[in-house]
Copies of this chain bind each other. A is one copy, B any other.
């Protein structure tokens, strides 16, 4: 891949800082500028050599960059793109790291003019941690990165951005934005919502002699709720941006759970065991697929 001259990273958090370190290590960009609202965080990133320079001013941050990577929460992205466009140099390519694509990609596409380009991307990495302190040059290595071109995507920009994410060390896979949103709505958004709801339900349970029951928990609950420690702002934005697929998936999950409840209520031992055995089999496939 021909290196970029200068990359601006919007949001020097877990993903932004990890990407910056991977790009430096792999010499994919000559210079890295960080943009963020928190000047102290940018100063710290500069001191740690994660970025070459940082700015809270958009014009300063994107001036001279031929690549801009959006790493801030999904809810702020469209606003940020609108803000930066007047200051972008001709030919600049924007890519992003948002966990939702459909509506978001449409909204950004609508802002794009002939002199700049946008290619949507979703690196499948992260976890329940957040912030620069949890970043690492290897966070993205070996993980999948979904690229979501549309009819508006310029072929050359698509090629360049795909090569970029490949060079970062990720396995790129192209997909239309709507398909992406259903797939990751199911694989990621729904599990997060379920973990949040479960955590709140269990925390509220009280009995005659126990005002709270969390101290008595074994490890099962801790594991299943790990992703309930994820950043609330990030997940609020993801749920609202991916509303239609997420609501549909919640409905499907509710149906699956309601069926189990009915089998329990009606003492349908055989069907209940079959349902659990089926889940068992599916989990086996999931583990097999992710070795």
Chain A positions near chain B (C-beta within 8 angstroms): 75, 124-125, 127, 143-144, 146, 173, 175, 179, 182-184, 186-188, 190-205, 207-210, 213-230, 232-233, 235-236, 239-240, 243, 246-247, 249-254, 256-261, 264-265, 267, 269, 272-280, 282-287, 289-290
Contact = CB atoms under 8 A, between A and B. Distances in A.
B201 A290 contact: no
B239 A272 contact: yes
A190 to B, nearest CB: 7
Contacts of A273: 232-233, 236
Nearest to A274: B232
Given A144-B216, A267-B240, A269-B240, A228 B179 contact: no
Nearest to A287: B222
30 contacts: A75-B269, A127-B219, A144-B216, A183-B207, A183-B210, A183-B213, A186-B201, A187-B202, A187-B220, A187-B221, A188-B220, A191-B202, A191-B224, A198-B253, A199-B279, A199-B283, A200-B278, A214-B282, A214-B285, A222-B286, A222-B287, A230-B280, A232-B273, A232-B279, A239-B264, A240-B267, A243-B264, A247-B264, A250-B264, A254-B257
Contact of A224 (B194, B208, B216): B194
A199 B194 CA distance: 11
Nearest to A205: B186
Contact of A200 (B216, B223, B243, B275): B275
Nearest to A282: B203
**From DSSP, what is the main secondary structure of chain A's interface residues?**
helix
A205 B182 contact: yes
Contacts of A221: 187-188, 191, 286
A205 B249 contact: yes
Nearest to A185: B205
B243 A265 contact: yes
Contacts of A213: 183, 186-187
A253 B195 CA distance: 11
A31 to B, nearest CB: 31
Nearest to A257: B197
A217 to B, nearest CB: 5
The CB with the most chain B CB atoms within 10 A, among A201, A205, A260, is that of: A201
The CB with the most chain B CB atoms within 10 A, among A215, A258, A283, is that of: A283
Given A200-B282, A202-B186, A256-B197, A277 B232 contact: yes
A181 to B, nearest CB: 10
B220 A223 contact: no
B235 A276 contact: yes
Given A187-B221, A199-B286, A280-B229, A264 B240 contact: yes
Contacts of A179: 207-210
